């Protein structure tokens, strides 16, 4: 079986309860994680350590909180009490190096799904998204990743520009894979809006979820994503949002993707 799980954010006990509920066996089954493995939840070290222990059975994409953890390890982002245990662990380098090998876009053509933490930019075709993710992964995994990540943190790019510099092109790609939620009709991201679509103020109702942008390029794989706890579970034939706000007192959600059932299993966060 293949299961995909939304944002864990260090909710280790909920993760273990969910895996028991779906009868997950790492020797036989496969697990996709839609990013934000850590941060805010009190079991961030345990979560990362467990997923690392079954790494041969897990496919992860990096989320904004995972990137922030790597930045904290490099000393270019502030730490906090929920990720301090990771940074102080005796095997912190091993854990961070494994995390640093994570993808920004995971694809399985046979299953018919792809996964990115925040989704895929409306401006991207699938090929463009693949190329952008590979470029980011090459930089993240390279010898100069600390300096590169510092450049990424320096500025956010909210609009796709094919004539932009390489660094701004990467900044846009990173924002689209780990930060986007809303954009306007021209595809320009609004990073300040974090609520649900129904919560938008009157002067912001021109904004739409990225997957409802009228100019969005057609992608022939169903896009699995997290990052948007206020959106919650949302599923149609094109996209599925799996961040159901476990760390905020909601649920942790898993969906089976190796058959047509798309079976949903949820557990409440403690």
Nearest to 60 by CA among 85, 86, 30: 30
What DSSP state is assigned to residue 216?
Answer: P
Token duo for residue 237: 């034939």
Please tell me the distance from the alpha carbon of residue 214 to that of residue 146, in angstroms, as a whole number: 37
- What's this model's pTM, rounded to 2 decimal places? 0.96
Per DSSP, the three-state class of 44 is helix
Checking DSSP bridges between strand 239-241 and strand 234-235, what pairing results, if any? Answer: antiparallel
CATH number attached to the domain at 2-268: 3.60.21.10
User: pLDDT digit of tens for each residue in the chain (270 aa)?
Assistant: 999 999 999 999 999 999 999 999 999 999 999 999 999 999 999 999 999 999 999 999 999 999 999 999 999 999 999 999 999 999 999 999 999 999 999 999 999 999 999 999 999 999 999 999 999 999 999 999 999 999 999 999 999 999 999 999 999 999 999 999 999 999 999 999 999 999 988 888 899 999 999 999 999 999 999 999 999 999 999 999 999 999 999 999 999 999 989 999 999 987
**Per-domain boundaries in the chain:** 2-268
Spatial CB neighbours of 51, under 8 Å, sequence gap ≥ 6: 33, 37, 58, 60
Query: 78-124 pLDDT, tens per residue?
Result: 999 999 999 999 999 999 999 999 999 999 999 999 999 999 999 99
Per DSSP, the three-state class of 121 is coil
Give ∠ CA 159-127-257 in degrees, rounded to 5. Answer: 105
Nearest to 47 by CA among 73, 85, 102: 85
């Amino acid at each position: 079986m293949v299961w995909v799980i939304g944002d864990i954010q260090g909710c280790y006990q909920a993760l273990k309860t969910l895996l028991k509920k779906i009868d997950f066996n790492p020797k036989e089954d496969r697990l996709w994680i839609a990013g934000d493995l850590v941060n805010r939840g009190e079991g961030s070290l345990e979560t990362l350590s467990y997923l690392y222990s079954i790494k041969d059975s897990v496919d992860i994409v990096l989320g904004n909180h995972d990137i922030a953890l790597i930045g904290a390890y490099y000393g270019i982002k502030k730490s906090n009490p929920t990720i301090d245990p990771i940074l102080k662990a005796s095997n912190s380098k091993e854990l961070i190096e494994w995390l640093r090998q994570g993808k920004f876009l995971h694809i399985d053509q046979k299953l018919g799904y792809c996964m990115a933490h925040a989704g895929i930019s409306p401006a991207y075709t699938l090929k463009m998204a693949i190329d952008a993710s590979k470029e980011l992964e090459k930089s993240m995994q390279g010898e100069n990743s600390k300096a590169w990540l510092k450049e990424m943190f320096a500025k956010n790019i909210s609009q796709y520009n094919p004539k932009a510099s390489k660094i701004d092109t990467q900044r846009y790609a990173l924002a689209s894979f780990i930060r986007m939620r809303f954009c306007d009709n021209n595809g320009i991201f609004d990073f300040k809006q974090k609520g649900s679509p129904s919560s938008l103020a009157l002067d912001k109702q021109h904004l739409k979820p990225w997957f409802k942008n009228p100019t969005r390029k057609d992608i022939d794989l169903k896009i699995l994503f997290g990052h948007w706890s206020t959106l919650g579970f949302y599923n149609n034939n094109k996209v599925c949002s799996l961040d159901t706000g476990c760390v905020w007192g909601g649920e942790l959600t898993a969906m089976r993707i190796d058959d047509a059932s798309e079976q949903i299993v949820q557990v409440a966060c403690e």
